[in-house]
Amino acid sequence: MFPSMRVIVFASQKGGSGKTTLSGHIAVEAERQGAGPVALIDTDPQGSLAKWWNVRKDPAPAFIQSVFSNLFYDLDSARDEGFRMVVIDTPPAVTRAISEVVSFADIVVAPTRPSPHDLRAVGPTVDIAESRGKPLIFVVNGATPRARITSEAAIALSQHGTVAPTTIHHRVDFAASMIDGRTVMEIDPFCQSSLEISALWKYLYERLQRADGGYDAQDQAGAAAAANAQNRVFGRRA
């Protein structure tokens, strides 16, 4: 468990990069590995992450209904409730509002598919992270196994920032699991997709442990608040 609440923001200008799928999977894996209580926030108007959570049978991770203008107060409330991790999904755009969301991040994760179009689109995300002084982690996502372009993409991204050592490969089980509000780990914890998500979470966890401070450097929530957070569901969004 982290000494204070940590915030991971998934951001990418390019649509279809896999932000929503990875947001849900990393949040679930963080909960499974004892880094919770974990909460999700969906700032994408399309609400794909919220829709996935609404059909999910397991109430963990929790879901916080929030909008850009209330994010500061909602994160404050989440901290007071005892949450130790908040994962935020963002829309595929570059706006002042997204820059504000990034300002709350302990780390920014930018899923990037190994394609020329995706690689060309990373610039604005890099600019936002740098302007806010936030560490940016690229994740090569949706890769084809043994494809040369996958390694080429990792090399190209490394010129702009840190690239996670784990590549997430394209497999049908990711999309199939999201249909009914689950993740690949909950369907088959030993499949290759699950192992990749576990490895990615381990890397992000280690990065967060090395980070100085957090959203609130003081540990103000005790075991009682954490227990209450486990039982609280912030509400479902239609």
Per-residue pLDDT of the chain (238 residues; tens, 9 = 90+): 566 899 999 999 888 899 999 999 999 999 999 999 999 999 999 999 999 999 999 999 999 999 888 999 999 999 999 999 999 999 988 778 889 999 999 999 999 999 999 999 999 999 999 999 999 999 999 999 889 999 999 999 999 999 999 999 999 999 999 999 999 999 999 999 999 999 999 999 999 998 754 444 333 333 333 333 333 334 444 3
H-helix or E-strand containing 98?
helix 96-102
What is the pLDDT at residue 221? 36
In a domain, 184, yes or no: yes
Evaluate whether 136 touches 159 at the Cβ level (below 8 Å): no
In a domain, 234, yes or no: no
Domain that holds residue 78: 6-209
What is the pLDDT at residue 13? 87
| Nearest alpha-carbon partner for 193 in 216, 154, 167 | 167
Distances (CA, A) of 214 to 2, 78, 198: 9, 14, 22
The per-residue DSSP string of 209-222 comes to HHSSS-SSSS----
What is the pLDDT at residue 3? 67
What is the pLDDT at residue 95? 79
In a domain, 214, yes or no: no
The whole-model pTM stands at 0.87
For the record, the structure tokens of 158 come out as: 């490394």
Pairing state between β 6-10 and 62-64? unpaired
In a domain, 179, yes or no: yes
- How far apart, in whole angstroms, are the C-alpha atoms of residue 12 and residue 195? 24
Q: What is the CATH number of the domain that holds 146?
A: 3.40.50.300
In a domain, 162, yes or no: yes
In a domain, 56, yes or no: yes
What is the pLDDT at residue 165? 97
In a domain, 231, yes or no: no
Evaluate whether 75 touches 86 at the Cβ level (below 8 Å): yes
- How far apart, in whole angstroms, are the C-alpha atoms of residue 72 and residue 87? 14
In a domain, 138, yes or no: yes
Domains identified in the chain, total number = 1
